[in-house]
Amino acid sequence: MLEQLYNDSWKYWIDKDAFALTWNIPEIANDITLPHDAMIEKGAYAESPNGGNTGFRDGDVYNYVKLFTPPVEYRDKTVKLKFEGVYMNAMVYVNGELAAKSPFGYTTFYACLDEFLRYGEENEIRVQVRNGAMTNSRWYSGGGIYRDVYILIADLVHIKEDGVQITTENVANDYASILVSTELENLGHASEDYTLETIIQNSDGQVVASDRYEMTLFGQEERKTSQRIAIMTPQLWSEETPVLYTCSSKLYQGDTLIDENLTSFGIRILKLSANRGFCVNGKEVKLRGACIHHDSGLLGAATYEEVQYRQVKKLKEAGFNALRMSHHPMAPAMLRACDELGMYVMDETFDMWNRCKSDYDYGLYFNEWWETDVTAMVRKDYNHPCVILYSIGNEIPEIGTNHGARVAYQISRKIKSLDNTRYTLAAINGVYAAGDSINEIVAEVAAQAGIKGQAEGNVNVFMSVMDKYMDKIVMHEAITERLEKACAETDIAGYNYMTARYEKDGENYPNRVIVGSETYPPEIAKNWEIVKKCSHVIGDFTWTGWDYIGEAGVGIPAYNWGDGGFGAGFPCQLAYCGDIDITGYRRPASYYREIVFGLRKAPYITVQNPQKYSENLIKTPWVLSDSIASWTFKDCDGKPVIVEIYSAGDEVELLCNGKSLGKKTAGRDAEYRVYFETVYEAGTLTAISYENGIEIGKDELKTAGSNRKLVLYAEQPAKIGAEFIFVNIELQDENGIIVTDEDMEVHIVVKGAALAGFGSGNPKPQNNFTETTAELFHGRALAIIKKTESINKADVFVKTKELNAGIQV
C-alpha cells in the first residue's frame, strides 16, 4: 500500500455538544498539524478532577476535521486511514457516518473509507475523541490525535497493511535463513496471475538476496505466502551492532508493478533458559533496563520521530540497554529509534484487565477489545528487532485468581499465535496479586514487627508506608501461591518490587526465569549484584529512566507532608523519579546507576541540601536523596553538610580546597555510595577513586563566582534534517560554572520558528509548557524550537529582569 503522512491541514476544537443538530465546523476551530496533544494546551490547576494523576490537567471532548476530495479513479482502489495513537475513545466518521472506533488510546487502528467516500467531491473526515470522563488514567495520558496519521491507497489487489513479517529462523557463521511471510488481499472478483518479488538489501543499499513467488490470486481471496531466503555473511543485530536490513516486497501483474512495501528488519536469534539466562545471537545479555512513560516532557504526549530518537539516545548514553514501555504499547517512532540505536524493548499491553484502576479507564472495555488491541500491538512490533519481550499486563490485581490465570493464558496464547519468536511475561506486584489475602499478610508481618498495620490506600501509597517491611510481605506463602498461578502461562516471571524473592524462587522453581520488571531506583546496587550472580534473573528495570508528567510527587524529596510523595498537592505536576529529567538532563541517580553497572570509573559528587541539614527528609522508596551535583549554596558558609559520592573504586577520598577530608571504603562493599559529613566552605570539592591504591578516576565541583550571565546553546540535531531544535538555557558565572541556587523567571522570544515547549525539570512548574515564561531550575531550562519549512534559520532571545542572551539556530 502507498502510505503517506496525513498530518497537515486539520482543524481542531473542543465541543461537548454530542446532540448537536448539525455537524458544522465552528469559527473557533484552529488550524493544526498533527501530532497534537490537546491536554497540554490547558494549563494545570489545583481543582482538576484528575488531580496529580495527570499533573492536575483535564481531559475533554476533542474534535478534529480534515476535508478530502478523492479523485474519481479511487473507485477502483481501496483507501484507509492509519491512526498510530488517539487518546481515548476515538470515533472516526466519514461524511457523518461511523467508519472506525478505538477505545484504548495506545494501539494503532485503521479506518477503511471505501464505503463512505463520494468520489470527485469534497468529503469530511471527522475524529471525535471522548476523553472527558475523569479519571481515566493513573499518569499523564495526553489527549487527542497525539501520534501520526497516514493515508493508505492501494489497488484492489495489494499487500495488506502490516502484511510483511520477517523471521530469523537460524544463524550460522557464514549465513542466515530468514522466512518472509507476505499477506496478499484481492478485494476484486477477478482471478489473475501475480508475481511477488522479494529483495533484501543491506545497510549500504546493496542487494544481498532475492526471491520470486508466482501465484494465481482468486477473487475475494486473502493469501499468506512464505519465502525462505538465505543471506550470506549476515551482519547480526544487537545492542552493540544495531545493523538493519531492508526488505522490498513488489507485487506485479505481468510486467506492471501494482504494489510495493518496504520493511526494515534485523537478523538476530533469541534464546532463554534458567541456566543460561537471556541470550541474543548466542551471547548472554543482562538487561540494564528503564521503565518509561510515553509523554515527551515539555511537548506533552505529542509523539515526534526525532524527539523519541533523542530520548532513546540519551538513555543509552546513560548506560541503559533496555526499555520497558509502561504500561501500554510503544509508539512506532520510538521502536524505530530503538532499532537504529540498539536498545532492547519490553513492550506492554495493558495496565488493567477487568478491574479498573481509574473510574473510566480501559477496564470498561477490556473484555470486548483486548484481542483486537493485542493483535494490533504484535503486528506493529513484529519486524522490529529491538522488541524482545511482551508484557501481558502490569500489576493486574486479579492475575493470581483462577479467572485471572485464565485471562493470562488467553493473552499469552494469542500473542504466541501471532509471534512465537519473543517471550512473554506479566509484570506482577506481589501486594496486588495477593488480593483479599493482603490484610491477613500485613497483620501477620506487622505483629512480628511489633507494629500496627493494615492495607489501606492504593498500592503505591501502601508500598511507601510499608516500605521497611515489603521484603517480608512479598515472601509470604499466600503470595507464593498466587504467583504459581500468575506465572504459569508466561515464559518469564516479571517481578515488580520483589527482589527479596529472586534467589529463593530460583531454588524452589529451578526452571523459572525472572526479570525485575519494575524496581526502586535506590536499590540498584543490591539488585544488580543478584542479577549478575543469578543466571535465572535476566535484568532490572528501574522506575523510571526518564521523568514524566503525572503521578505527581512520587519521587520528590520533601520536608513537609504534601510537598512530595503520593498525594503531593498542586503545583506539583511531575513524578520526579526519573534518572533523567523531562528536559534530558541527567540527575544524580543516573550516574549512580552507571557506576553500579560498571560503565563508569570516575566518581560522581552530589551534595545534600545544607539548608535542610537538621530537618527530617520525607521520602518514598523511589527517592535516592535530595542531593544535587553542586557546591554553590548561598548563605551556608560554616554550616554542616553531607556529601554523597558514588564510587566504583574500593576506596574514595574527598578533598575541600585541596585539604583531604579522609578516605572511606567504597565500591561494592559500600554499595557504591559513600557519605562524608563536613562543613560548607566555598571553593573546590574533589573526589578521587582508588582501586588497590591506584587512582582510577576523579570528579570535581566548584562554587560559582559572583558574576552572572545567561548562556544559550543548541544541541546537535538528533537526526539529519531535524524539525526540532533543543536550546539549553543556563545561568552561569564568569567561568562557565552553573549557578544552581538563584533560580529566576526567564522570558523567551522566537523569531522565524515556533516555540513548541518551554520549561525546566522543576517538578512544581509555575507556568504551562506552552507559555513564553518559565523558571530556571538548578540553573537550567530548555526551549524546544520547531522549524518552519520556509525559513532555515531562527532567532531565539531569552531574558530575565537583568540578563539577556540570544542565539541563531
Model confidence band, residue 485 (pLDDT cutoffs 50, 70, 90)? very high
Mark whether 698 and 713 lie in a shared domain: no
Predicted confidence at residue 20, as pLDDT, reads 77
Checking if the pLDDT of 803 tops 70, the result is yes
Closest CA to 142 of 155, 153, 129: 129
Question: Which residues, in sequence order, are CB contacts of 687 under 8 Å at separation 6+?
Answer: 603, 604, 605, 645, 647, 652, 653, 654, 655, 698, 699, 700
Mean pLDDT confidence for 146-158: 98
Predicted confidence at residue 459, as pLDDT, reads 57
Checking if the pLDDT of 50 tops 60, the result is yes
Mark whether 406 and 536 lie in a shared domain: yes
**DSSP bridge pairs for 284:** 279
Which among 702, 726, 751 is the end of a domain? 702
Predicted confidence at residue 453, as pLDDT, reads 56
- Asked whether 519 and 541 are in contact (CB, 8 A), the reply is yes
The amino acid at 673: R
Lowest-pLDDT choice from 30-34, 432-436, 663-667: 432-436
Residue 628: give its domain's CATH number: 2.60.40.10
Lowest-pLDDT choice from 23-27, 134-138, 301-305, 782-786: 23-27
pLDDT digits (tens, 9 = 90+) for 58-101: 999 999 999 999 999 999 999 999 999 999 999 999 999 999 99
Mark whether 435 and 504 lie in a shared domain: yes
Whether the bond into 765 is cis, omega within 30 of 0? no
- Asked whether 117 and 94 are in contact (CB, 8 A), the reply is yes
Compute the half-sphere exposure of residue 158: CA atoms within 13 Å on the CB side of its CA.
20
Mean pLDDT confidence for 441-449: 78
Closest CA to 83 of 59, 102, 61, 96: 102
pLDDT digits (tens, 9 = 90+) for 712-767: 999 998 888 889 999 999 999 999 999 999 999 999 999 999 999 999 999 999 99
- Asked whether 580 and 547 are in contact (CB, 8 A), the reply is yes
Predicted confidence at residue 468, as pLDDT, reads 77
Mark whether 110 and 173 lie in a shared domain: no
Checking if the pLDDT of 310 tops 60, the result is yes
Predicted confidence at residue 465, as pLDDT, reads 57
Checking if the pLDDT of 217 tops 70, the result is yes
- Asked whether 302 and 770 are in contact (CB, 8 A), the reply is no
In whole angstroms, how far apart are CA 142 and each of 9, 38, 298, 311, 630? Answer: 21, 7, 12, 18, 34
Predicted confidence at residue 22, as pLDDT, reads 77
pLDDT digits (tens, 9 = 90+) for 324-363: 999 999 999 999 999 999 999 999 999 999 999 999 999 9
Predicted confidence at residue 439, as pLDDT, reads 80
Looking at 326-386, list the stretches that DSSP marks H as alpha helix, in order from N- to C-terminal side: 332-341, 366-381
Mark whether 91 and 207 lie in a shared domain: no
Pair type for strands 694-702 and 709-714 = unpaired
Residue, of 443 and 641, whose pLDDT is higher: 641
pLDDT digits (tens, 9 = 90+) for 255-300: 999 999 999 999 999 999 999 999 999 999 999 999 999 999 999 9
Predicted confidence at residue 797, as pLDDT, reads 98
* CA 428 – CA 393 distance, rounded (Å): 8
Mark whether 591 and 502 lie in a shared domain: yes
E strand or H helix that includes residue 192? strand 192-201
Checking if the pLDDT of 404 tops 90, the result is yes
Q: Which three cell numbers stand for residue 689?
A: 577513586
Name the domain count of the chain.
5
Mean pLDDT confidence for 367-376: 98
Residue 591 CB coordination number (10 Å)? 22
* CA 46 – CA 387 distance, rounded (Å): 39
Q: Which three cell numbers stand for residue 11?
A: 482543524
Mark whether 322 and 434 lie in a shared domain: yes
- Asked whether 255 and 265 are in contact (CB, 8 A), the reply is no
Mean pLDDT score of the chain, rounded to an integer? 95
Mark whether 573 and 626 lie in a shared domain: no
Pair type for strands 724-732 and 780-787 = antiparallel
pLDDT digits (tens, 9 = 90+) for 491-517: 999 999 999 999 999 999 999 999 999
Predicted confidence at residue 458, as pLDDT, reads 60
Give the distance, in angstroms, between the CA of residue 708 and the centroid of all CA atoms in the same chain: 37
Closest CA to 89 of 57, 60, 120: 60
Predicted confidence at residue 451, as pLDDT, reads 63
Checking if the pLDDT of 463 tops 80, the result is no
pLDDT digits (tens, 9 = 90+) for 4-22: 999 999 999 998 787 876 7
- Asked whether 346 and 388 are in contact (CB, 8 A), the reply is yes
Mark whether 260 and 288 lie in a shared domain: no
DSSP-derived letter for residue 329 is P
Residue 368: give its domain's CATH number: 3.20.20.80
Which among 155, 179, 211 is the end of a domain? 155
Residue 567 CB coordination number (10 Å)? 18
Max intra-chain CA distance, the chain: 89
* CA 187 – CA 159 distance, rounded (Å): 11
The amino acid at 2: L
Mark whether 772 and 758 lie in a shared domain: yes
pLDDT digits (tens, 9 = 90+) for 729-740: 999 999 999 999
Name the packing angle between helices 305-317 and 332-341 (round to 10°).
40
Checking if the pLDDT of 313 tops 70, the result is yes
Model confidence band, residue 788 (pLDDT cutoffs 50, 70, 90)? confident
Which among 660, 683, 702 is the end of a domain? 702
Mark whether 427 and 524 lie in a shared domain: yes
Predicted confidence at residue 434, as pLDDT, reads 84
pLDDT digits (tens, 9 = 90+) for 584-599: 999 999 999 999 999 9
Predicted confidence at residue 418, as pLDDT, reads 98
Predicted confidence at residue 562, as pLDDT, reads 86
Listed in order, strand segments (DSSP E) in 69-148 are 77-83, 86-87, 90-94, 97-102, 109-112, 123-130, 144-145
In whole angstroms, how far apart are CA 138 and each of 51, 360, 503, 662? Answer: 10, 11, 32, 47
Model confidence band, residue 469 (pLDDT cutoffs 50, 70, 90)? confident
Mark whether 220 and 279 lie in a shared domain: no
Pair type for strands 287-292 and 537-543 = parallel
Predicted confidence at residue 18, as pLDDT, reads 78
Checking if the pLDDT of 454 tops 60, the result is no
Checking if the pLDDT of 435 tops 80, the result is no
Pair type for strands 270-273 and 256-265 = unpaired
Predicted confidence at residue 471, as pLDDT, reads 87
Residue, of 468 and 251, whose pLDDT is higher: 251
Checking if the pLDDT of 455 tops 60, the result is no
* CA 165 – CA 596 distance, rounded (Å): 39
Q: Which domain holds residue 691?
A: 604-702
Predicted confidence at residue 722, as pLDDT, reads 86
Mean pLDDT confidence for 668-672: 97
- Asked whether 534 and 541 are in contact (CB, 8 A), the reply is no
